[in-house]
Each structure stands twice: as C-alpha cells, then as structure tokens.
Amino acid sequence: MRWSPENMTDQSGKRFIITGGNGGLGSVTARVLSEHGATVVLACRNQEKAGEVARRMTGGHVEVASLDLADLSSVRRFADEQGQFDVLINNAGLMNTPLRRTSDGFEMQFGVNHLGHFLLTGLLIDRVQDRVVTLSSIAHAHTLRLRIDDLNYERRTYQRNLAYAQSKLSNLMFARELHRRLEASGSTVDSYAVHPGVSGTELFTRTETVFDRLGAHGAAIVGHPPENAAESTLFAATEAADPTVFWGPARGILQARGPVGAARSSRLSKDQQLAEILWEQSEQFVGMTFLPRGGGR
C-alpha cells in the first residue's frame, strides 16, 4: 500500500526545524506537518519569502528564523537561539550553480548542501529529541569518485553537475555515518537519508543558463509533483521506519517518481571508511568536533 500524508498521525506537540522551508519541497513538507498540528520552524535565508509561506499555512504554529547555510557564522547564530525540538530536516539545497564560494571560502554547492547542514546538525544534536532527516538525491550516484583531496574545487576544473553530485553523495554518507555514531553513543536519536526523486521545483532554475527555462518543465515531465516528491521526507520524519534504509521513490531505473520505498544507492555511498574520512574532513572545515567514532554523545 502506498504511503501518503493521509496516513500520518497527529503531530501536535512536536517541533520540527526545516532548512529551506520557504519554497519547493521544503514548503510542502512544512505545510503538511503544520496541517497535522506540528510546530514548524522555517529556517531560511530569504525571510520575506519565508514569511509569505508561513502566512499561508494553517493548523499548527509556524515560525520563521534566519539561517544562511552559506555563512557558518549564521549557522552558529541560528543554533544558539534554538531550544529542544523533535526533528531536524536538512532540506535546503542548491543544484548545478556556477562556481561560487561561500562566506567561508567553500565551493558553494558543497558548502551549502553538506557543510552548512553538517555544522547545523553538530550544533543541535544535543537538542534533537527524535531524529534527523537529510535530503540526498538520485544524483549522488552520478559521480564515481569522492575527491576527498579537493572537495572545494581548488585544484581541478569546476564541473557544476559533478559538484552537485559530490554534495548529494556527501549528504547520504553523512546521514549514514551520523546514524552509526549516534547508535554507538547509545543515543535514541535516529538519522535518516531520503531522496525525493525528481520534481519540477525552482531547484532547476538556478543554473544561470538557458537550461533554467527548460529544467523545471523537463523535471515535471520526468518526475512527479512536489506534493508527491515530499512524501519521502514526511515519511522519514514521522514514521517508525528503518533508519538504515535510503527512503525515496524506488521504482524504475531512474527512481525519479513513485511511492516511498527502499531506494537503491551507489556502492561508493556505502563506503564506511570513506564516510569516516569525509566526517573528519568536514569537522576540520567547520571547526567543530562532535560524536567521536568511539562513542559518547
């Protein structure tokens, strides 16, 4: 039987933090959770747009908070303002953008999609009561190598599609390694990795090329509506599901659309030794150590 938000239990009394909740799949996720009684924090860079989204929501309580994942000082300020909550949804992301750097000098897609969320999770992990959900992508499999020696494209030619694939591979490896470390520490908090398939959201309109005119339309044809694409996130955020499974559309070669199921992932994404190296490198980049491999929260 296909899972849908109609199967979701009442979320009253629960607090969710969603990065990038001001548009795309994030706004759909926030709206559905709100309709089921949850308190939702829209952690966004664009405060005006987030406010408009929040005003359209009904049901639970919706808050707007400032968070710029391209600026680690902003991540730290946001984290300092948060108390205990139930679920962190690492949703925000950029795709196939021109070569740019974050405020801290990191390649933008890797910096926003992975490093910003890595630091945010580390700063908030002691306040998460239930779980962390991190959005990866089927694009994680579009790279055959994780260049751990040059994650920020400082010594190689920039390829925007491979940079995006690297960031989404990092999201998936991080989510899995986070679960292993939480489990080793004796924590009851779970970590889930999900993918939404393909959906024609504004994610496809930021390449600053002619593709912006065609991307969202093409994605809408190949994939499924945002309301369906958000189901894997909502499922992982609310159901008692297996956290070791990569949840998302699982049918077909592309896994671009369809009901939530146990999705395939690349062999590279399952390399635990590489995941540990990525974790350690990420700690060095953001200047924070948390959940040491030997256990201890």
Distance between CA atoms of residues 295 and 180, nearest Å: 10
Count: domains in the chain = 1
Q: What is the DSSP string of 183-235?
A: HHHT---EEEEE------SGGGG-SSSTHHHHHHHHHHHHS--HHHHTHHHHH
In a domain, 135, yes or no: yes
In a domain, 74, yes or no: yes
- pLDDT of residue 48 exceeding 90, the answer is no
Reported residue count of the chain is 297
- pLDDT of residue 287 exceeding 60, the answer is yes
Tell me, yes or no, if 164 is annotated catalytic: yes
- pLDDT of residue 59 exceeding 80, the answer is no
- β-pair type (260-262, 246-249): antiparallel
CB atoms < 10 A from the CB of 138, how many? Answer: 22
| Tens-digit pLDDT profile for residues 207-227 | 555 555 555 555 556 668 889
Residue among 256, 40, 241 at smallest CA distance from 137: 256
In a domain, 296, yes or no: no
| Tens-digit pLDDT profile for residues 71-120 | 999 999 999 999 999 999 999 999 999 999 999 999 999 999 999 999 99
- Say which CATH number the domain at 182 has: 3.40.50.720
State mean pLDDT over 2-11: 93
Q: For residue 208, what pLDDT is reported?
A: 52
- Give the pLDDT band (50/70/90) at residue 170: very high
| Parent domain of 175 | 9-286
In a domain, 162, yes or no: yes
In a domain, 293, yes or no: no
| Tens-digit pLDDT profile for residues 116-153 | 999 999 999 999 999 999 999 999 999 999 999 999 99
Q: DSSP character for 10?
A: P
What residue has token string 């709100």?
A: 34
CB atoms < 10 A from the CB of 121, how many? Answer: 22
In a domain, 128, yes or no: yes
In a domain, 3, yes or no: no
In a domain, 2, yes or no: no
Which residue of the set 153, 158, 164, 192 is catalytic? 164
